[in-house]
Amino acid sequence: MSIEVSETPAQASAREERQKAGQPAHWLHSKPIEFHNPWPSFRSNQLPGFKDAVTMLPYMFSMLTNSSSVLPDKETVAKIPIQKPTWGTADSKLVAENAQKIKATWLGHACFLVELPSATAGVRGPRILFDPVFSDRCSPNQWMGPKRYTPPPCALEDIPEIDAIVISHNHYDHMDTTSLTNLLARTPAPHVFAPLGNESYFEGLSIPASRAHCLDWWDARRVTSSAASPTTFDITFTPGQHFTGRGLRDRFKSLWGGWVVESSSSPQTSSSSSAENTTPPARIYFGGDTGYRSVPSDTDDGPDTLPVCPAFKQIGAHFASGFDFAMIPIGAYQPRRAMSPVHCAPRDSVALFQDIRARRALGMHWGAWFLTTEHALEPPRLLREECKKRGIEEGAFGVCGIGETVVF
Contact in structure between 90 and 111 (CB atoms under 8 Å): no
Per DSSP, helices labelled H in 33-116 are: 50-55, 57-65, 74-77, 92-98
Question: What single-letter amino acid sits at 342?
Answer: V
Q: What is the Cα–Cα distance from 182 to 159, expressed in whole angstroms?
A: 11
End-to-end Cα spacing for the chain: 27
Contact in structure between 86 and 405 (CB atoms under 8 Å): yes
Is 172 flagged in the annotation as binding?
yes
Contact in structure between 172 and 145 (CB atoms under 8 Å): yes
Query: How far are the Cα atoms of 357, 383, 389, 398 from residue 394, in angstroms, in the given order?
Result: 16, 11, 11, 8
Q: What is the Cα–Cα distance from 369 to 126, expressed in whole angstroms?
A: 29
Tell me the backbone φ, ψ of residue 277, rounded to 5 degrees.
-115, 170
Q: What is the Cα–Cα distance from 142 to 313, expressed in whole angstroms?
A: 39
Degrees to nearest 5, angle at CA 251 with 245 and 252: 105
Output the CA torsion 238→309→110→404 (10° steps): -100
Q: What is the Cα–Cα distance from 194 to 130, expressed in whole angstroms?
A: 10
Is 343 flagged in the annotation as binding?
yes
- DSSP line for 225-278: ETTSSSSEEEEEEE--S----SSSS-TTSS---EEEEEE--EEEE-TT-S-EEE
- Beta strand 397-398 with 361-364 is parallel
Asked whether the CA dihedral 157, 370, 166, 394 is positive or negative, the reply is positive
Binding residues: 172, 343
